[in-house]
Structure 1
Amino acid sequence: MSVLALREFSYWMLRYRSTWRSTIVVSVLNPLLFLLAMGAGLGRLVDRNTAPDTLHGVVFLAFFAPGLLAAATMQTAVIEATRPVFLGVRPGGSYRSAVAGPLGPSDVLAGHLLYIALRIATSALCFVAVLLCFPPLRTTALLWLTPAALLTGLAFATPCMAWAATLETGQPMSTLFRFVIMPMYMFSGVFFPVEQIPAALRYVVYCTPLWHGTELCRGERPVLHAAYLGALTLAGLLLARRTYRRRLFA
């Protein structure tokens, strides 16, 4: 990463100075409330009425928490990688101002992606800190969660950055959340095992990055899922370099 990319990163960190407190509060309160309601509350009913091997051999709280982290990471990554990029490439946007000086499109991309990675990592760390409040979750598996969540977030962030840089209006972003992000949130194994989904749809779920991220956070076949998410991250990055160059030099 070049020194010029660090200038772009510094710009986003400067903006973050005015909002970091609220984002940290949300990163702590949201998972805490979800885990209390769904994990510790509803989870007791699930555990009493579910066979032990249905949830990968663990209680519902231990099954639900890693999936919720992956889903929360997906949301953070998509939010940070869509609208800010869309606004940045527009006339008068921050990207346009940056490339009018010494920075090139690759510097802008690298600096902004570094900031997004930091946002994903800090949100994941806050989530892991919340998990320490629940005794059944205090295991060595917590050490794996932050890097797993970071890779999951990057697998969403780089393709979204590549796509958002091509948009002319903001309407497609609403469509993305409504018809892609929310269905993945509900049906990618966060709340229940995907084996309960009809077989025809199950193979669609297996292709989604959130399912791979959820399984990675649970420690299931980590090499396979990390390879998938890493390949998606790299593909998104290469595509983003192309779309940024086209859009910012247009």
Structure 2
Amino acid sequence: MRVLALREFAYWMLRYRRNWRATVVVSVLNPLLFLLAMGAGLGRLVDRNTAPDTLHGVAFLAFFAPGLLAAATMQTAVIEASRPVFLAVRPGGSYRNATAGPLGPGDVLAGHLLYMALRIATSALCFVLVLLCFPALRTTALLWLTPAALLTGMAFAAPLAAWVATLESGQPISTVFRFVIMPMYMFSGVFFPAEQIPAALRYVVYCTPLWHGTELCRGQRPLLHAAYLGALTVAGVLVARRTYRRRLFA
């Protein structure tokens, strides 16, 4: 990464100074309320009526918490890589202003991705700190969750930024969120094992990055899932370099 990319990163950090308190509160309160309601509340009912080996052999709270972290990370990545990129790449946007000076498209991409990675990592860390409030979740596995969530988030952020940079209208973003992101949130193993989904749809779920992210956060076959998410991240960065260059030099 060129030093000039740090200027783009500094720009996004300067913007973030205006609302960092609100995002930190959301990053703490949302998982806390979800875990209390779904994990500690509904979880007791699920544990009483579910076979021990159904949820990877753990209690519902221990099954649900890593999946919720992966889903929350996906949402953070989608928020940071969708509308901000769309506005920045348009005429008069911050990308255009930056590339009018010494920064190139690769610099603005690298700087913005670095900022997205920081946002994803800090949100994941806040989530992990919330998990410490639940004695049943205080295990060494917590050390793995932040890097696993970061990789999950970047597997969404990089490809999404590459795609959003090509858009002329913001409508496709809403469509993707409604018909891709939300169904993925519901059916990618966050709330129940993907093995309970009908076989015809199960293999579609196995191809989604969120399923790989939930399994990675749960420590299931980490090398396989990390390789998948890492490959998706690298592919997203490579495609983004092309789409940014074409859009910003157009």
Same-fold status (TM-score > 0.5): yes
Moved >6 Å (runs of 4+): none
TM-score with structure 1 length normalisation?
Answer: 1.00
1:194-245: per-residue Cα shift (whole Å, max 9, x none)?
1110001000000000000000000000000000000000000000000000
1:108 aligns with 2:108: yes
Match of residue 20 from structure 1: 20
Question: Sequence identity, in percent?
Answer: 88
Correspondence list, 1:85-124, <5 A: 85-124=85-124
C-alpha separation in 1, matches of 2:37 and 2:177: 24
CA distance, structure 2, for counterparts of residue 106 and residue 113 of structure 1: 10
Match of 1:53 in 2: 53
Corresponding position: 1:74 with 2:69: no
CA separation in 2, counterparts of 1:194 and 1:121? 26
Q: Specify the code of the residue in structure 1 equivalent to 2:219.
A: G
Shift of 1:129: 0.2
Partner of 2:200: 200
Distance 1:238 1:82 in 2: 18
2:4 aligns to what SS in structure 1? helix
Instruction: Please state how far the C-alpha of 1:14 moved relative to its aligned partner.
Output: 0.2
Question: Which residue matches 2:168?
Answer: 168
| Aligned residue identity for 1:50 | T
- 1:33 counterpart residue number: 33
- The one-character-per-residue Cα deviations of 1:20-47 (angstroms, maximum 9, x if unpaired) are 0000000000000000000000000000
Does residue 239 (structure 1) correspond to residue 234 (structure 2)? The answer is no
Cα deviation per residue 1:123-143 (whole Å; 9 max; x = unaligned)? 000000000000000000000
Say how many residue pairs are matched: 250
Q: Which amino acid aligns with 1:185?
A: Y
What is residue 134 of structure 1 aligned with on the other side?
Answer: 134
The TM-score normalised by the length of structure 2 is: 1.00
Match of 1:149 in 2: 149
Between the aligned partners of 2:139 and 2:121, the Cα distance in structure 1 is 20
Q: What is the letter of the counterpart of residue 37 of structure 1?
A: A
Letter in 1 for 2:198: P
The question of 1:9 aligning with 2:9 is answered: yes
Aligned-CA RMSD value: 0.3
Q: In 2, Cα distance between the equivalents of 1:113 and 1:80?
A: 9
Amino acid aligned to 1:20: W
| Aligned-pair CA distance for 1:94 | 0.2
- The alpha carbon displacement at 1:2 in A equals 1.2
CA–CA distance in structure 2, aligned partners of residues 52 and 100 of structure 1: 60
Partners of 1:246 and 1:82 in 2: CA distance: 18
Which amino acid is 1:5 matched to? Answer: A
- Distance in 2, Cα, partners of 1:182 & 1:165: 22
